[in-house]
Amino acid sequence: MARLSVRGLRHAFAAGPVVALEALELEPGRLTVLTGPSGSGKTTLLYLLSGLIRPQAGAVVWDGVDLARLPERARDRWRRGNAGFVFQDFHLLPELSPLQNVLMPARFAAFSARRHAGRGAELLRRFGVPDRRRVALLSRGERQRTALARALLLDPAVVFADEPTASLDAAAGRGVAEALQALAAEGRCVIAASHDPDLIALAGRRLHLEHGRIEVFA
Ligand SMILES: Nc1ncnc2c1ncn2[C@@H]1O[C@H](COP(=O)(O)OP(=O)(O)OP(=O)(O)O)[C@@H](O)[C@H]1O
Ligand SMILES: [Mg+2]
């Protein structure tokens, strides 16, 4: 069970908008969707909430641990133990197979990849990714689903997903949206950035970003 509490969060790049979020509480069990136009700061906010970048000001507290106060290695350790991240551009290794990619988090966590091979293969089957020698031979949508399977390998309490249905057709997109909602319903904290009406419709909470200004709905 993971609970998030954000206070006075503020981050700006030289050219982009300022991401500013005064206060936000997220309890487990809900799917939260970040919406907003391209460049509004959705990816930046996911990076801030997951500790991939450290905010210029404010606190990002997961179960009492403030990621904003931790150095990079400790933030990486927190993510390895607690979170799965589906990157907008997947970050897969094209020369490795889908399964080898999916098993990467087990390697980084110094868990035996072999012990997780069954679960990795099952996740790939569940998301309909064909068994290929190299990820380079997969379609973009198949890569997107490989990235999701990788994020879920270690059954993380927190799932961050950056536009996880953007490369999928309507049916596959609905499948992924429902899978994310089911993960939240099981008690995880799921935070996704998306433009996809099917995914937005399943959200228990929506945060809308506009030039870094964030409005929280329900
Ligand atoms: N590392 C960086 N250095 C400088 N500027 C950045 C960096 N990352 C993002 N930006 C800027 O911050 C702004 C927000 O970018 P971000 O990627 O968070 O937007 P987004 O809402 O995810 O957009 P999209 O829908 O296109 O993915 C953009 O103007 C972008 O150019
Ligand atoms: Mg983005």
Could you say which ligand is closest to the alpha carbon of residue 207? 1
Looking up residue 174, the CATH number of its domain turns out to be 3.40.50.300
59 falls within a domain: no
Residues with CB under 6 A from ligand 1: 13, 15-17, 36, 38-44, 88
What's the pLDDT at 218? Answer: 67
Is residue 109's pLDDT more than 70? no
Is residue 110's pLDDT more than 90? no
- How many domains are there within the chain? 1
Centre of ligand 2 from the C-alpha of residue 111, in Å: 31
Average pLDDT over residues 162-168: 97
Tell me which residue has its CA closest to atom 6 in ligand 1: 13
Tell me how far apart the alpha carbons of residues 172 and 183 are, in angstroms, rounded to a whole number.
17
β-bridge mates for residue 23, sequence order: 7
Tell me how far apart the alpha carbons of residues 136 and 98 are, in angstroms, rounded to a whole number.
9
Type of residue numbered 109: A
Instruction: Please give the torsion angle defined by the CA atoms of residues 150, 154, 155 and 157, in that order, rounded to the nearest 10 degrees.
Output: -100
63 falls within a domain: no
What's the pLDDT at 47? Answer: 98
Distance of CA 154 to the CA centre of its chain: 13
Is residue 116's pLDDT more than 70? yes
Entry field: residues in the chain = 218
Atom of ligand 1 nearest to the CA of 40: 21
Centre of ligand 1 from the C-alpha of residue 21, in Å: 16
Atom of ligand 1 nearest to the CA of 34: 21
2 falls within a domain: no
Centre of ligand 2 from the C-alpha of residue 88, in Å: 6
203 falls within a domain: yes
What's the pLDDT at 13? Answer: 87
7 falls within a domain: no
Helices H, strands E: what count in the chain?
Answer: 8, 10
Is residue 1's pLDDT more than 80? no
Name the phi and psi angles at 189, rounded to 5: -105, 115
Tell me how far apart the alpha carbons of residues 216 and 45 are, in angstroms, rounded to a whole number.
13
- 3-class DSSP state of 44: helix
Centre of ligand 2 from the C-alpha of residue 13, in Å: 14
What share of the chain in percent tops pLDDT 70?
A: 98
What's the pLDDT at 107? Answer: 82
- 3-class DSSP state of 161: strand
52 falls within a domain: no
150 falls within a domain: yes
Contact between 166 and 141 under an 8 Å Cβ cutoff? The reply is no
**Domain encompassing residue 171:** 29-42+71-217
22 falls within a domain: no
Window from 88-97, 104-113, 132-141, 197-206 with minimum mean pLDDT: 104-113
What's the pLDDT at 197? Answer: 97
Contact between 111 and 104 under an 8 Å Cβ cutoff? The reply is no
